[in-house]
Amino acid sequence: MEKQEIKQLQKLATVIRKHIIEQVFNASSGHPGGSLSCTDILTVLYFREMRVDVKNPQWEDRDRFVLSKGHCAPALYAVLAEKGFFPREELVKFRSADSYLEGHPSMRYVPGVDMSTGSLGQGISTAVGMALAGKIDKKDYRVYSILGDGETQEGQVWEACMAAAHYKLDNLTAFLDHNGLQIDGKITDVMSPEPVEEKFKAFGWNVIKIDGHDYVQIIEAIEKAKATKGAPTMVIAETVKGKGVSFMENQAGWHGTAPNKEQRDQAIAELDAFLQRLEVE
């Protein structure tokens, strides 16, 4: 990758992180921690990898994306707005009664959303269904999904993974946002899903482990997944909950808490400072 391309992705991701903070602040509710941790993956998918058409969101041959951890809608909405699926100005209405930007993504109301999600475990299940449909219809589109690591405590996740391997869905690439935290604390304390790498391998998946904030590693993982035949790919992305905002990083308390005015201002100032450093470099 060109250094300039990485810098452009970093800039986009930082703008998206600012949108996340503003959405949750304006709504006085939402999930900033996990939204910030999966931002870099979403940025690469939508601005470098996925084949989509903002003028025709329902294009039959588009690549599909399912946010299985649907509570992290602020990240998806910010990406879709920056991509051009709907005006950025709509983001300030997040979770308001007169907005289509609900707390969890809705395929009925939000342009660019391929699946309504929120009930953990169901997102990856529908992603498997989409990938299977692609195989049956002999389509060349690819399906992508992001799961939360706490979400893997759901039995439905493993049923879906078993089906994906059984049907050899090599057109499916899933990312595990492995930040180690969920609403009640460390995933290993609440209900440990570890060792997840070995478990996905045992379920028949091609498994790749990466730094989920390293753009080169994210892109290389996607390329390896596309080159893999006969099996779905799970990319275990080691991430930081609250990434980009110092006081939110690695803090389970920011799973579903909105910042107050002072905290919002500090978060935006930190992200603006990072943008300025990117401009100087």
How do residues 76-115 score in pLDDT, each as one tens digit? 999 999 999 999 999 999 999 999 999 999 999 999 999 9
SS3 content of the chain, % helix, strand, coil (to 5): 50, 10, 40
Q: Tell me the C-alpha distance between 103 and 83, whole Å.
A: 20
Q: Tell me the C-alpha distance between 68 and 127, whole Å.
A: 8
Q: Average pLDDT over the chain, rounded to whole?
A: 97
Q: Could you tell me which residues are beta bridge partners of residue 207?
A: 234
- Do the Cβ atoms of 102 and 118 come closer than 8 Å? no
Q: Could you tell me which residues are beta bridge partners of residue 178?
A: 238
Residue 1 pLDDT:
66
One-letter amino acid for residue 10 of the chain: Q
Is residue 55 predicted with pLDDT exceeding 80? yes
121-173 pLDDT per residue, tens: 999 999 999 999 999 999 999 999 999 999 999 999 999 999 999 999 999 99
71-87 pLDDT per residue, tens: 999 999 999 999 999 99
Average pLDDT over residues 242-263: 98
Q: Could you tell me which residues are beta bridge partners of residue 147?
A: 176
Residue 214 pLDDT:
98
Residue 2 pLDDT:
86
Q: Tell me the C-alpha distance between 134 and 136, whole Å.
A: 6
Sheet holding 64-67, edge to edge: 64-67, 143-148, 172-178, 233-238, 206-211
Q: Tell me the C-alpha distance between 106 and 1, whole Å.
A: 34
- Residues near 265 by Cβ (< 8 Å), separated by ≥ 6? none
Residue closest to 269 by CA, chosen among 250, 245, 252:
245
Residue 155 pLDDT:
97
One-letter amino acid for residue 31 of the chain: H
Residue closest to 135 by CA, chosen among 231, 12, 203, 208:
231
174-222 pLDDT per residue, tens: 999 999 999 999 999 999 999 999 999 999 999 999 999 999 999 999 9
* Domain annotation for the chain: domains and CATH numbers: 3-280 (3.40.50.970)
Residue 8 pLDDT:
96
One-letter amino acid for residue 240 of the chain: V
DSSP 254: G
Q: Concatenate the DSSP letters of all residues of 242-274 into one string.
A: TTT-TTTTT-GGGSS----HHHHHHHHHHHHHH
Is residue 281 predicted with pLDDT exceeding 90? no
CA 226 to chain centre: 18
- Do the Cβ atoms of 143 and 134 come closer than 8 Å? yes
